[in-house]
């Protein structure tokens, strides 16, 4: 597999690789954001996420203490998550532009921020994704292959 990856990367110019890298990274960010916001935090799934992470008794204690309903708490969490996701996507768009212009920050952001964390987060999210849908599990597997491809490409085109 490594030979296939390196031989396909060897056929690319640096500029072509940059465009592929930005496309895969942005697509990955967007898919992670969509999965988290619209699948994990959906009205159907959010209670089970809370119970899995905190336990039923802690949720009830927080609700009683703050005099709010679970749905108000869930809506607040969804709103905050949406704001966080939008902010993150705006920052990554700037970083991808800087990467395209061969800026040192942009290159570092892609190498360590997006690709390495994408591989780690993708691996950690696989079982979680399959819990919600086989399609999401397959999407994360494909993203992992994309990030691994980028890892080898970055090693070739950005050695230092």
pLDDT attached to residue 17:
96
Model pTM? Answer: 0.83
For residue 15, count other CB atoms closer than 10 A to its CB: 10
**pLDDT digits 0-9 by tens, 45-81:** 777 776 666 666 766 666 666 667 777 878 888 899 8
φ, ψ at 133 (rounded to 5°)? -170, 140
């Amino acid at each position: 597999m490594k030979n296939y990856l390196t031989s396909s990367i060897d056929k690319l110019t640096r500029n072509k690789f940059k465009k592929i890298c930005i496309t895969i990274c942005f697509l990955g960010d967007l898919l992670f954001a969509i999965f988290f916001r619209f699948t994990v935090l959906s009205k159907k799934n959010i209670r089970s996420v809370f119970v899995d992470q905190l336990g039923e008794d802690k949720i009830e204690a927080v609700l009683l203490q703050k005099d709010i309903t679970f749905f108000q708490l869930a809506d607040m969490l969804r709103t905050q998550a949406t704001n966080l996701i939008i902010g993150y996507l705006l920052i990554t768009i700037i970083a991808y532009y800087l990467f395209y212009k061969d800026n040192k920050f942009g290159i570092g952001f892609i190498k360590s921020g997006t690709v390495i964390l994408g591989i780690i987060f993708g691996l950690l999210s696989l079982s979680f994704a399959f819990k919600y849908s086989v399609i999401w599990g397959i999407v994360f597997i494909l993203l992992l292959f994309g990030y691994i491809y980028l890892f080898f490409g970055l090693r070739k085109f950005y050695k230092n």
